[in-house]
Amino acid sequence: MGKRDKKAEAPAAPAAPFNNPFAALSSKREELPQAPAAPVRPPPAKPEPKGPARAVVRMERKGRGGKEVTVVEHLELPAPQREVWLKALKNSLGCGGVVEDDALVLQGDQRERLPALLEARGVRKVTVG
């Protein structure tokens, strides 16, 4: 094994940029007109999203092998909106659930915690049965 030759040093870079087409413009920056000040307007107040007028919350066991479920009925929401509400309620309550016909079915007895969540989503009257 022989000694390796030292590599020749790379040539030094030029001190000034090579052919900079914008170099002359930097001295004219102070001569440019100032932009007009934009008027500051507060963002428009968003109306509070109105939810359904009422909801009925009840617990049932029939036809479910003795398991307790909480059923939310009379929401009168369109089908895609029911799916969004169900996902939000499942995340908030930490339980499973499904949409059956026009009702939201949540696993477990959620009658105590559910009315507060529904009122926060804009339901004006929650009936617990």
- Bridge partners (DSSP) listed for residue 107: 69
Whether 22 has a pLDDT exceeding 60, the answer reads yes
pLDDT in tens, 28-45: 888 888 888 888 888 777
Q: Cα 82 to the chain's mean position, in Å?
A: 17
The per-residue pLDDT for 60 is 93
Q: What is the 3-state secondary structure (H, E, C) of 40-106?
A: CCCCCCCCCCCCCCEEEEEEECCCCCCCCEEEEECCCCCHHHHHHHHHHHHHHHCCCEEEECCEEEE
Per-residue confidence (pLDDT) for residue 52, from 0 to 100:
77
What's the one-letter identity of residue 83?
E
